[in-house]
A and B are shown apart, each in its own frame.
Chain A
Amino acid sequence: MTSILEKIKKIDDLPTLPAVAMEALSLAHAPNVSISKLSEVIHKDPPLATKMLKMANSSFYKRGDKPVETIQRAITILGLSEIINITSSVSVISTFTSKKGFIWESFWDHCVATAIVARTMARKIRMETQGREFVGGLLHDIGKIVLDYTVRDDFNKALDLSITRDCPLYEAEQEVLGTTHMEVGAFLAERWNLPDYLRDIIRWHHAPEMSQFKPMTALISIADLLAKAKQLSYGGDKLSFVLADQTGWQTLIEHRYPMDELDLERITFEMDSLADTVREYIKSMSE
């Protein structure tokens, strides 16, 4: 019997990441990326370029009073890594919201929430991320899209099981599908040629100690949980957790991040408006 993962690997018409997003992502961490080079890439996709300018002028990203009118200007103002965040966000979200069936809204709510929380946490613990945390948060659950695309009925069964049993979705997936959204996502990451750090976040965000990019994956694992605690989750599981007991938390302590300084109660309280921020972000992206 072939496993579901093997079957998925043989499917030819898997969702594809827009060429521009792939190019932007690969540029992101290449040395000496120039503004003009990135601007050139974005211009290859005129609808993307238009959206990009809208995003740059949205309340989420806007700096100062003057409207941003060119991509070059947007890059100068927002910085390279922010532009790469926006490019990948816009292209990934718009590619996948057009497919029917999946509950896109809550899926992207969770992904954007994770990205925003990851950014907040990275700032609090002073982690140098070059914007990777945002893209990582956004794409960490990408395997769920593939599961929905390829084995929807069984994936729905796993979703139901995680609700009735009040267990993590990946446990239900393992039981129903014999694979998980992390495994499937990691496969997609390879097929899409995503950077190594992203593949690792996608593969190990529930077991960050296994990642080659431990602090970053650990950060996403924590952000993932916090987003869920703020009821921005996809997958039904309504779990309770002790952050300090998570391997992701321990990993960050081992890497000498000042976790003990964090007033988690205050941070959690400040995230009360997270749902609004997420909606605002998605709205500005989809307008």
Chain B
Amino acid sequence: MELASQPSGILMTGEQFLQLRDFIYEKSGIYFADSKKSLLENRLTFRLKAYNFTDYEKYYYLLKYDPQAAKELRSLYDTITTNETSFFRSPPQIEAFAEKALPDVMTRRQKAGEKTLRLWSAGCSTGEEAYTLGIVLKELLQDTLREWDIKIYASDISEKALRSAKLATYNEYALRGVPVEVRQKYFKAENSQFVVTDEIRALVELQFLNFMDSQRMQLMKGFDIIFCRNVLIYFDDAARKKIVSHLYDNINPGGYLFIGHSESLHNITRAFKLVHFPGALGYKKE
């Protein structure tokens, strides 16, 4: 019986790891530190098996030179990204958004005579955050929602995650943070799953976006509030600086950025003003 000692993933040599790590970093900015070698092994094993490859060399050449490379690259992104999220994640941040940032931005907009709002869930994964923002907006604005021109952009590098976000269908577990009355109002129960109502889905626009794609990043203009939570952790400092600098440019003066509860921009940028909301932090562009 040798099964017990067999590793679950196909082993990578140190050289192969560096080759693939650098390739992934160059394409996506996502960085696998040396300590993450076995994580990368475990994840890429699935891709190797899809081609019946037994070593990483072939896979690397496929990514680099094969006519199918672009297609495989997208599967690679699906494989290496983490899709851990939930509705109303980090409630104090959602409250700060609902009670402080959003009213602040909306007052400013109304004064300027423009009833438009542009939000962005950057690194939206399977969509929970974007739909949460939609629900919060509807709860806040009620019937006056239709007086506003509102778009919540939701972008991710994983097409698989985006397909799932498009279905807007979730299990009980994803809804664990959702209050009962919100659940009843904004979700339809279907075959023991929960589907976000059309009204909320209509606010959200999903799109594929690679943060390293500077051209596309430059086009994402005019946002009032951006959520980029627990995303920057997958990048190294150089890539973080690049992404955050884009996000800064993409936010309107007076707008806000929210990053993950345990994250910090201290070593990344001082361009924003750090705002202490009750129980949560946010960044304001002056």
Question: Do residues B279 and A229 form an inter-chain contact, with CB atoms below 8 A?
Answer: yes
Q: Is there contact, CB below 8 Å, between B276 and A225? A: yes
A239 to B275, CA, bound (A): 10
Query: Distance in Å from the Cβ of A13 to the closest Cβ of chain B?
Result: 37
The 10 closest A-B pairs by CB, nearest first: A265-B264, A263-B266, A229-B276, A238-B278, A240-B277, A242-B273, A266-B264, A269-B262, A240-B100, A231-B279
A264 touches B274 (CB 8 A): yes
Interface residues of A in 233-265 (CB under 8 A from B): 238-245, 262-265
Closest chain B CB from A189 CB (angstroms): 28
**What is the CA–CA distance of A266 and B274 in the complex, to the nearest angstrom?**
12
Is A230 located at the chain interface by the 8 A CB criterion?
Answer: yes
Return the chain B residue nearest A268 by Cβ: B281
Contact with A along B243-286 (1 / 0, CB 8 A): 00000000000000000011111110000011111110100100
Q: Which residue of A lies closest to B263 (CB)?
A: A265
A243 touching B266 in the complex, CB below 8 Å, given contacts A229-B279, A230-B279, A268-B281 = no
What residues of A have a CB within 8 angstroms of the CB of B262 in the complex?
269
A262, closest chain B residue (CB): B266
Question: Is the beta-carbon distance between B273 and A264 smaller than 8 angstroms?
Answer: no
B127 to chain A, nearest CB (A): 26
- A229–B266 Cα distance when bound, in Å, is 19
Query: A226 near B: Cβ within 8 Å?
Result: yes
Query: In the bound complex, what is the Cα–Cα distance between A229 and B264 (angstroms)?
Result: 17
B232 to chain A minimum Cβ distance, whole angstroms, is 12
Residues on A with beta carbons closer than 8 Å to the beta carbon of B266: 262-266
Q: Which residues of A contact B284 (CB under 8 A)?
A: 242
Interface residues of A in 202-247 (CB under 8 A from B): 225-226, 228-231, 238-245
Residues on B with beta carbons closer than 8 Å to the beta carbon of A265: 263-266, 274, 281
Cβ-defined contact, A241 with B275, below 8 A: yes
Residues of B within 8 Å of A239, CB to CB, are 278
A-B contact pairs, 10 of them (CB 8 A): A239-B278, A241-B276, A242-B273, A242-B274, A244-B273, A262-B266, A264-B264, A265-B281, A266-B264, A266-B266
> In the docked arrangement, what's the CA distance between A225 and B279, Å?
12
* Docked-complex contact A244 and B276, CB < 8 angstroms: no
CB distance from B282 to the nearest CB of A (A): 8
Q: Which A residues between 128 and 160 are near B, CB-CB below 8 angstroms?
A: none
CB contacts (< 8 Å) of A242 on chain B: these are: 273-276, 284
A266 to chain B, nearest CB (A): 5
Complex CA distance for A238 and B95, rounded to whole angstroms: 12
Alpha-carbon distance between A238 and B278 when the two chains are bound, in angstroms: 6
Measured CB to CB, the nearest residue on chain A to B104 is A240
Chain A residue, CB-CB nearest to B267: A263
Chain A residue with the shortest CB-CB distance to B272: A242
Q: Is the CB of A240 within 8 A of B274?
A: no
A240-B100, A242-B273 given; name 20 further pairs at CB < 8 Å.
A225-B276, A229-B276, A229-B278, A229-B279, A230-B279, A239-B278, A240-B96, A242-B274, A244-B273, A244-B274, A245-B273, A263-B267, A264-B274, A265-B263, A265-B264, A265-B281, A266-B264, A268-B276, A268-B281, A269-B261
A-B pairs under 8 A by CB, number: 50
Assembled-state Cα–Cα distance A248/B279 (Å): 21
- Chain B hits for A269, CB < 8 A: 261-262, 264
B51 to chain A, nearest CB (A): 43
- Output the least CB separation between B242 and chain A (Å): 19
Report the minimum CB–CB distance from A253 to chain B (whole Å): 14
Cβ of A240: which chain B residues have Cβ within 8 Å of it? 96, 100, 275-278
Bound-state CA distance A240–B276 (Å) is 5
Residue of B nearest to A265 (CB): B264
Contacts of A228 in B (CB 8 A): 278
Give complex CA distance A240, B279 in Å.
10
Nearest CB on B from A120, distance (A): 15
Chain B nearest CB: distance from A106 CB in Å? Answer: 14
Chain A contacts of B273 at CB under 8 A? 242, 244-245
Give the CA-CA distance A242 to B282 in the complex, in Å: 10
Question: What A residues does B281 contact at CB under 8 A?
Answer: 265, 268
Give the Cβ gap from A197 to chain B, nearest Cβ, in Å.
26
Of A262, A263, A268, most B-chain CB atoms within 10 Å: A268
Which of B264, B277, B279 sits near A263, CB closer than 8 Å? Answer: B264
Chain A residue at smallest Cβ distance from B280: A229
User: How close is A92's CB to chain B, nearest CB, in angstroms?
Assistant: 27
* Separation of A253 and B236 alpha carbons in the complex (Å): 31
Which residue of A is nearest B259, CB measured?
A: A265
Residue among B267, B278, B281, B284 with max Cβ neighbours from chain A (10 Å): B278
List of B residues within 8 angstroms of A268 by Cβ? 276, 281
Chain B 191-246 residues near chain A, CB threshold 8 A: none
A188 to chain B, nearest CB (A): 29
Nearest Cβ on chain B to A117's Cβ, whole angstroms: 12
**How far is it, in angstroms, between the C-alpha of A34 and the C-alpha of B192 when the chains are bound?**
73
Please give me the residue from chain A that is nearest to B283 by CB atom.
A265
